[in-house]
Structure 1
């Protein structure tokens, strides 16, 4: 067992974001909304080696598999936390997946989605913190 497996949960959970139970964050203050994976998801996956991004213009429903993240440990689907149309994808993250490991709430965003529903059912930072503890 590596030291990483014994780390306490000292994870970043920004207050201004909303979260899904599938460890995906949404920044609804931006237009279109910015979506990425949480620090917790990244810590569970380990170092990412490949990101399979969708095409801009793709329609997603909340609960759909939106894209895949591949690490040395596993290939994990990223579940769309909201319904809408993907307008932009972060090609920089696809070209260098380590940006997601290093800055999941900043440069490591994954997609920008034009929301269909103004009120997606998401957790606030406090609710998400309770979920992962």
Structure 2
């Protein structure tokens, strides 16, 4: 269920393998969106584009029918893009959290932080332990 080509944070964000420019996509995991339920609103302020955020900084909130949850940076990064589709269709995160449901495109600032994130198998054990 958790793609092997991604890394995972303890806050249930995923990040893609960086390209040659250290650029990656960030989103929330299937587990996270499933726990939240039907997502109705995503609040990520466009003023963060071009800014550097540190690991575990909040970059927005996600609202489901019953709850609101903060979104955290899995690594320190320069914010390059917000997935504009999600602003009008946040339910894409429920439909496909690993593809169309990506939230940010970033440039990773410290690859050491990326290297410390969990692989798919580690993340699966982590979420099984939290149930």
Same fold flag (TM > 0.5): yes
Name the SS of the counterpart of 1:119 in structure 2. Answer: helix
Matched, 1:41 2:36: no
Q: Structure 1-normalised TM-score?
A: 0.88
In 1, Cα distance between equivalents of 2:18 and 2:107: 12
| Match in the other structure for 2:102 | 109
Name the SS of the counterpart of 1:14 in structure 2. Answer: coil
> What root-mean-square deviation, in Å, do the aligned CA atoms of Structure 1 and Structure 2 show?
1.0
Name the SS of the counterpart of 2:2 in structure 1. Answer: coil
In 1, Cα distance between equivalents of 2:29 and 2:97: 6
Shift of 1:16: 0.6
Shift of 1:109: 0.2
- 5+ residue gaps, structure 2: none
- 5+ residue gaps, structure 1: 1-11
Report the count of equivalent residues.
122
| Match in the other structure for 1:52 | 43
Shift of 1:105: 0.2
